[in-house]
Amino acid sequence: MGNIDPAYNGEYTVVGVADNGNRLIVKTNSFPKPPLTTASITYPANGKMSVSSTSYYQGDKLATDIRVDENTVLNIGITGEDGAFEKVIRALCMIAQGNLVDERNPMDAPDGVDANRALERVTEAMNLLDDALSHNNIKNSSESKSDLTQLNYKVGLNLKNVSTKITTQETLVKYLEDNIDGIEKMNPTEAAQLLQEQVTILEYSYAALSTVNSLSLMNYLK
C-alpha cells in the first residue's frame, strides 16, 4: 500500500466483492478531499470557433389582441422570439465569444493560423446586424424575413391607431357630457314643450309616410 497517494487516506468499509474476485467494493462517508494545487493549465485556442442559436428565448410566446373599440383590434404579439431579435443576439454572440486575434506561433499551430478568421467572423456578424435592421432576401434567403424596420412600422401603426381612438373617444365623451349638462339645466316646462313639439313632428312624419305608402300606379290612373 506504500504506492498509494497519502492524500486519499481515510476510513473505508468493504461492502462487497466484484464478480471476478479481483476488486473490492467499498464505501466511505468521509472521503478525503484531493489536495489543492496552485499549478495552472493553459489550453491554447485552435483558431476555429462557431456559435449557433437554437433555443435562446425562454420567455412568453403569447400573441395578444387588444380590442380598442367595436371595429378595431390591435395585435401586440411582439416577443423576444421574433427573428429580428434573434439575428441581433446571434451577431453579438459571434463578437462576444472573443478570440478574434490568434496569438499562436504559426510554426506551432498544426492546423495553421488563419489570418482572415477575425475578418470573416466580424463581416458575418455585421451582415447579420444589417439583415436584422432590414432583411435582404437575395443576400440572406436562409435567414428570417422579420427585421427591426418591420417591427418599428408595426409598433408605430399601433401607436397611431391608439392615438386616433383616444381622440375619437375624447370627442364622444365631450359630446355626451354636453348633452347631459344641457338636460340637467333645462327648465321642466321648456323640456315638456320641446318633447311635445318632437311628438307632433313625429306624428306628421308617420302621416306623410302612410300617404306615400298608399300611392300606387293604379291609384294614379284613377
Q: What is the pLDDT of residues 85-123, one digit of tens each?
A: 889 988 888 888 776 666 666 666 556 556 677 778 888
What count of other Cβ atoms lies within 10 Å of the Cβ of residue 85? Answer: 19
- Partners of 14 in the β-ladder: 26
Query: C-alpha grid cell for residue 28?
Result: 466511505
The pLDDT of residue 219 is above 90: no
CA 96 vs CA 49, 125, 183: distances in Å:
12, 11, 69
**Distance between CA 63 and CA 190 in Å, rounded?**
55
Which of the two residues, 13 and 200, has the higher pLDDT score?
200
Phi, psi of 198, rounded to the nearest 5 degrees: -65, -35
**Distance between CA 169 and CA 175 in Å, rounded?**
10
Helix (H, G, I), strand (E, B) or coil at 114: coil
User: Is this model's pTM higher than 0.85 or not?
Assistant: no
Which of the two residues, 175 and 70, has the higher pLDDT score?
175
Least confident of 32-41, 152-161, 173-182, 187-196: 32-41
Q: Which residues contact 119 (CB under 8 A, 6 or more apart)?
A: none
| Arithmetic mean of pLDDT, 128-141 | 90
| Arithmetic mean of pLDDT, 123-150 | 90
The pLDDT of residue 160 is above 80: yes
Query: C-alpha grid cell for residue 173?
Result: 365623451
Instruction: Report the chain's mean pLDDT, rounded to a whole number.
Output: 75
